[in-house]
Structure 1
Amino acid sequence: MLRPSAPATRLVLASAAAALVLSGCGGEPDDAADRAFAAAQVGPTTAATTAPPSSPVASPPLTPTAPATPHAGGTPRTTGPATPRPAKGPTAAQWLSRARAAVQDVGSYQIKGDGYVGSVGYSVSFSAGWDRAQGSVTVDGRKSKVVRIGRTVYFKPEPEFLPLLGIDASKAEALEKKWVSAPVGDERIPVVLDLLDPASSLTVASPKVVARQAYRGVETVEIAGTPASPRVLVAAAGKPLPKAIAPAGGDNPIMVYNYGTGGVTAEAPKGNKVVELSSL
């Protein structure tokens, strides 16, 4: 039998290769309120890819790939198991709801510290429960005893504190042994007094989780909202209690501690010793 010559063999291979290439192209207490206040001793004061349906070209520069469909003479490529997305944490509103429930469960806490609202300095030392609170407040160097029963706040202010409530200083003598009352949230009350009321302190308009941070060694979630709302740091692990609260417009959050320790013994002043702020 005759053997084909080498040139003929090369020609046949070259023609086959060409055919393959072309086919694959994000003072002293004077009533029950004073006595309760004194007994409490509350001091002043932050996908799979799709390959061409034709057979792969046997060309050295190309990396062969598995056929993508059975029509191409093989089994389609499959991807590995999908990586689960991390579960989303609670929303800001959920954190606040949990914090309110936690405070109601423990009954009370103490909040103490100082800071600024705008350019005005303040200092607070409060024992705050869900239905009552008491303590003392200093605003711009002026002091007052304060008691909250339900949704009413009672002040026993020093004379220089009166203008902060919109009261003329000339009425100081008449109010010397009186308490001045006003509803929680009254526009004439300094905003720091919202810290007397956990319901107000833990209510944030348009709340958002803005940070996670360690506060005094505890991992917290920071929740903020509109400029007229407080800023709250809630414990991110364990019982979701508030760890610090800044009043609306305040700079640094004020420390919250001593949850449920002894409760709050505040009592409302006698009626004949109370003057409504709205009458002054």
Structure 2
Amino acid sequence: MTNNRGFRNNEDIQYDKAEGELRVISLGDSHTQGYKIRQEYTFSSVIERYLRKQNYQATVINAGVAGFSTAEELVFLENEGFKYKPDVVVLGFSINDFIDNIKADFFKLDRSGELIVNKKTHIPGVKVQNFIYSIPFMFWISQNSHFYSYSFNTAWNWFRRQFVKKAANRTAEYIVPTENDFSAYKIALTSELIKRMYAFCQKHDIKLIIIDIPTSDGFNELQPAVSPELQPLMMEHSDAFIDSQDVLSPYVGSVQLNVNYHISEFTHILFGLEAGKRIAAWQQP
């Protein structure tokens, strides 16, 4: 269910908030949005219920959008999200963000490593999707057919790879000409985006929580999105970093942590409770 703003919330939410209201906005991709997850079990919903149980007048906006990158989440926060006057931003960071930050092409690094704005519009795939949905019954099929979802995702992943290849060629002129290490560029770009988001939050007196969204084979394997090398930067440029290893490791091998390449309801619940505890602690006098 989405509200009047397109957020995955049961209720419409206005820019202005009530006196005493604690407002949280969750940013991220389909993991944050809650792909294949019942609405009341997304970590955003869990955070809201937890805070209300602690007697806080809390509203949590689930602004997760499938396919979004850190770059797009940053643009959304700076241009739309801050209008809701959030007290806390919860950023779900997944391993897809490294590639998707380049695909979005909003930002680049110049030769000195400084983050610069590259473009201000981005609507990939919209024309194709609108054409598909113009065909009779296709919208209904898209909502009810697993085969359609599999086929669409397969095709979209192919186009996504083409976007990344094109973006990789364009970034060459911005990389310091040493060994043209594209992986290093992805990490550097992501790092600067996180720094900018944290600086924006600090400027507007907003707390930033980063959740490491891991990948998993379901039960036995757990691969964090944030590497050990990148974790210190995430911790330095956030008010709280939720490490997937710390939260999920006790349950590896016994509980399903991932379903259909996305975090499970159980994982959502654990992340929601952990984030809720951090937020509640900040409200104490």
Question: Could you tell me the TM-score, scaled by structure 1's length?
Answer: 0.24
Rg comparison, structure with higher value: 1
More helix by share: 2
More strand by share: 1
